[in-house]
Amino acid sequence: MSEVGSAPAVTLAQKLRSGAPVSGTFVKTTSGQIVELLARSGLDFLVLDAEHAPFGVEALDKALCAARAAGIDALVRVPSHDPAFINSCLDMGAAGIVAPHVKTAQDARSIADAVKYGRGKRGFSGSGRAGDYGAFAAAAYRASADASSMIWCQIEDKSALDNLDAIAAVEAIDCLFIGPADLGLSLGCAGTEDPRLSDAVAAIAEAGRRHDRIVGLFVPDTATVPSMLALGITVFICGSDQSLLLGRARQVTDTMKAAFPTD
* Catalytically active residues, by annotation: 52
Give whole-number Cα distances, 70 to 33, 34, 73, 81, 176, in Å: 10, 11, 9, 28, 27
Q: Cα angle vertex 85, ends 100, 72, to 5°?
A: 75
Asked if residue 62 lies in contact with residue 69, where contact means CB atoms within 8 angstroms, the answer is no
- C-alpha distance from residue 166 to each of 52, 161, 173, 175 (Å): 27, 10, 11, 14
Please state the separation of Cα 9 from the chain's center in Å.
19
Q: Which of 4, 25, 17 is nearest to 240 (CA)?
A: 25
Provide the β-strand partners of residue 76: 48, 97
Q: What are residue 152's DSSP bridge partners? A: 98, 175
Q: Which helix (H) or strand (E) holds 175?
A: strand 175-178
Is 55 in contact with 77 (CB distance < 8 Å)? Answer: no
Could you give the C-alpha distances from 236 to 39, 78, 82, 215, in angstroms and in order? Answer: 16, 18, 25, 9
Q: Give the CA distances from residue 56 to residues 49, 85, 241, in Å, rounded to whole numbers and listed in that order.
A: 10, 10, 18
